[in-house]
Amino acid sequence: QQPVQSPQAVILREGEDAVINCSSSKALYSVHWYRQKHGEAPVFLMILLKGGEQKGHEKISASFNEKKQQSSLYLTASQLSYSGTYFCGTDNSGGSNYKLTFGKGTLLTVNP
Amino acid sequence: DGGITQSPKYLFRKEGQNVTLSCEQNLNHDAMYWYRQDPGQGLRLIYYSQIVNDFQKGDIAEGYSVSREKKESFPLTVTSAQKNPTAFYLCASGQGLLGYTFGSGTRLTVV
């Protein structure tokens, strides 16, 4: 079953912050975050592992709450280049049969 | 530079025709994946392979077939049994718990 992402879409002005949430109905072993620009391939942003801590780079970070089976992506001081669709991918197997199930995505638009 | 190459970029299929989408990687990754992307649906898993000569069905495998004869290659055939094949198809590879690397995709249209 696909993880549920919220919100479906968000519009920001440059410099504003945003939070994108990803919830799973099953136990999570890892969560990936990707960004896809229109007509392009998704690009890997980061992975969060069960038992791991909040991760991030530059002004994009993420958290992982195993108990709530949720992950959140934080974008601070947004830039025009942050525009795109953000997907979370969840691993619910925890074993060697490793595969990701992706949410439907969150469309982020950053305006000047 | 290492990466994934998908071809063709655009493909047109007539009713009742089988077509094959190519996916090649030179990242030395063990696992490869095929996803289908439709507007508003996210990425849905068609097939995946963890090792050569072995593959598993994903969530929407009906009407599709794959092979994994070489580590570098994971072609996807869209058969005539797939009633609604028009979509954007993405191939990806991965190793362990590293992130996926995606190809640039093939846009398939039924004419």
| Residue ranges, chain B, pLDDT below 70 | 1
> Do the chains contact at A2 and B97, CB–CB below 8 Å?
no
**H-type helices in A1-112, by residue range?**
none
Q: What is the pLDDT of residues A39-79, one digit of tens each?
A: 899 999 988 887 765 566 668 999 898 888 999 999 999 99
Q: Is A100 on the interface with B (CB under 8 A)?
A: yes
* Residues on chain B bordering chain A, Cβ-to-Cβ distance under 8 angstroms: 31, 33, 35, 40-45, 48, 50, 56, 58-59, 90, 94, 96-105
Residue A11 has pLDDT above 90, yes or no: yes
Which DSSP helix (H) or strand (E) runs through B13? strand B10-13
State residue A54's pLDDT score: 59
CB A22 within 8 Å of CB A3: yes
CB B67 within 8 Å of CB B32: no
Q: What is the pLDDT of residues A18-48, one digit of tens each?
A: 999 999 998 888 899 999 998 899 999 988 8
SS3 (DSSP) at A38: coil
For residue B14, give every residue at least 6 positions away whose Cβ sits within 8 Å of its Cβ, in sequence order, or none.
B110, B111
For residue A80, give the DSSP letter: G
For residue A45, give every residue at least 6 positions away whose Cβ sits within 8 Å of its Cβ, in sequence order, or none.
A32, A33, A34, A35, A60, A62, A73, B99
Angle (CA) B103 A64 A75, round 5°: 65
Q: Which residue of A has its CA nearest to B56?
A: A97
Instruction: Copy the structure tokens of residue B87.
Output: 């979509």
Terminal CA-to-CA distance of chain A, rounded, Å?
Answer: 37
